[in-house]
Amino acid sequence: MKRFSLLCISLLLLLSTGACAKKKPREGAFQVMSYNVENLFDTSDDPHTNDNEFLPDGTRHWTQKRYRSHLEQTARVILAAGAWESPALVGLCEVENEAVLQQLIRHTQLRSEGYRSCITRGNDPRGINNALLYRQDRFRLLGWRSVRIPFADRAKRSRDLLHAWGRIASGDTLDVIVCHFPSRRNGRKASEPDRIDAARCVRRLCDSLGRSRRRPQLIVMGDFNDTPTDRSIHLMTDGGARHLRLTNLFSDPHRTGFAGSHYYRGAWAQLDQMLVSPLLAERVISARVFAPDFLLTDDGRRRSRRPHRIYNGFRYEGGFSDHLPIVATFR
C-alpha cells in the first residue's frame, strides 16, 4: 500500500511539472518582434501635429481610460508573443511620442522586463513614429538615428526610418532598421512611388552599412504597406552586393503559419515583414505571424476572422490593433 502511494505521488508530480513548466528557449536564442500597434496616442494635444481625432473631445472620444487600456493591451501582446521570455528587440509602428513609449515600458506589465527604448521624431502629419524596445541584457545599444526619406514629391510627409545599432552576445554589431512605409490611402498604384522612394532609401542605407561593417548583420522590419511580391520589397531584397542580399522571412504564408498580418475587406495581406542579411538568414530558427485566438474576432459579414482592433471604423472595440505581430527567432 505504501509503495502504491509513493507511486501515485511520483506520477502526480511528474504530470504537474509537465503541465506547468514553460517550454524553455533554445540556448542562445534571440527573439525579434515587429508590431504596428494602431494609433498609440496619448490624450494630450500636440499643436504641431493633427492628433485632434485622439483627444477626449475628438471624434474618437479618446479618453484616459481608453489610452491606458491600449497601453496594457500592447504590453500583453508583447509578453504573449515572446512565450518563454520577452523578445530581445521589439520594433513598433504608430507610437505618438517618447512620453507614450515611457508609459508603455514603465507603467504596464513590461516594467519588470528591463526594456529601454528609442523613437523617431518624423514629420508625419498625424504625428505617429517608429520606435524600438530593446532588452539591455541582450542588445547593448551603441547608437541610433532618425533617417528622413528623400521623396521625389518634396511635399510628401511621412514617418522617418529608425536606425539603431548595438552589440549582441556574439560580439558582433547588429543594425536594426524599423520602417513604416507610406500607406495605400490614395490607392495602391497612385501611392506606390512613395513606397519605392522609401525602399530605395533603405537599400542605400543597407549598402552603406555593408561597406562599414566587417560582418554586416542587418534586420529591416516593420509595416511596409506592400506585400512580398510588390516592387518596393523586391528593390530591397534583390539589390546590393551578394553579402548584403536581404532575405524576406515572411514571403511564404505556408512557412509563417498564417495568411497575413493585416485584414482589409475580407482579405489577408502580409504587410508586416522582416528582411535579414545573409549571416542572420543562416541563423533563423523560426519566423511566424503571432495569431492567437485572443487577437482575433469574428467578421460577421464575411464569416471569417479578423484582428480585434481598437476601433472598427469609428466604433470603439477596445481590442489590440488592426495588425498582427510578427516574430522571428534566431540561434
Find how far residue 174's CA is from the centre of its chain: 17
Q: Which residues of 308-322 are buried (b: 16+ CB within 10 A; e: fewer)?
A: bbbbeeeebeebbbb
CB atoms within 10 A of CB 58: 14
With cut-offs at 50, 70 and 90, classify the pLDDT of residue 182.
very high
pLDDT at 110 over 60: yes
pLDDT at 48 over 50: yes
Q: List, for residues 251-287, the tens digit of each pLDDT value.
A: 999 999 999 999 999 999 999 999 999 999 999 999 9
Grid coordinates in use for 180? 513604416
Which long-range contacts does 48-54 make (Cβ < 8 Å, 24+ apart)? 48/127, 49/124, 49/125, 49/126, 49/127, 50/125, 50/126, 50/127, 51/96, 51/126, 51/127, 53/126, 54/96
Beta bridge mates, 144: 164
Check residue 26 and give its pLDDT: 56
pLDDT at 241 over 70: yes
Q: Which residues of 275-284 are buried (b: 16+ CB within 10 A; e: fewer)?
A: bbbebbeebe
Check residue 172 and give its pLDDT: 95
Check residue 27 and give its pLDDT: 60
Q: List, for residues 8-17, the tens digit of each pLDDT value.
A: 434 333 333 3
Give the mean pLDDT of 198-203.
Answer: 98
Tell me 263's DSSP state. Answer: E
Check residue 243 and give its pLDDT: 80
E-strand ranges in 13-99 read: 30-40, 89-95
E-strand ranges in the chain read: 30-40, 89-95, 115-119, 129-135, 140-147, 161-167, 173-180, 217-223, 247-248, 262-264, 267-269, 272-276, 284-289, 296-299, 304-307, 311-312, 315-316, 326-330
Q: State what percent of residues in the chain have pLDDT above 90.
A: 87
With cut-offs at 50, 70 and 90, classify the pLDDT of residue 20.
very low
Tell me 109's DSSP state. Answer: G
Q: List, for residues 282-303, the tens digit of each pLDDT value.
A: 999 999 999 999 999 999 877 8
Q: State what percent of residues in the chain have pLDDT above 70.
A: 92
Check residue 239 and give its pLDDT: 80
Average pLDDT, the chain: 92
Please tell me which of 5-9, 190-194, 300-304 the model is most confident about, judged by mean pLDDT. Answer: 190-194
What's the rounded Cα separation, in Å, for the pair 7 and 5?
5
Q: Which amino acid is at 107?
A: H
Cα 30 to Cα 26, 84, 117, 287, 331: the distances in Å are 9, 11, 18, 12, 6
With cut-offs at 50, 70 and 90, classify the pLDDT of residue 83.
confident
Give the mean pLDDT of 48-75.
Answer: 97
Cα 315 to Cα 60, 61, 192, 319: the distances in Å are 8, 10, 30, 11
Beta bridge mates, 327: 33, 288
Beta bridge mates, 288: 327
Angle at 163 between CA 122 and CA 189, to 5 degrees: 60
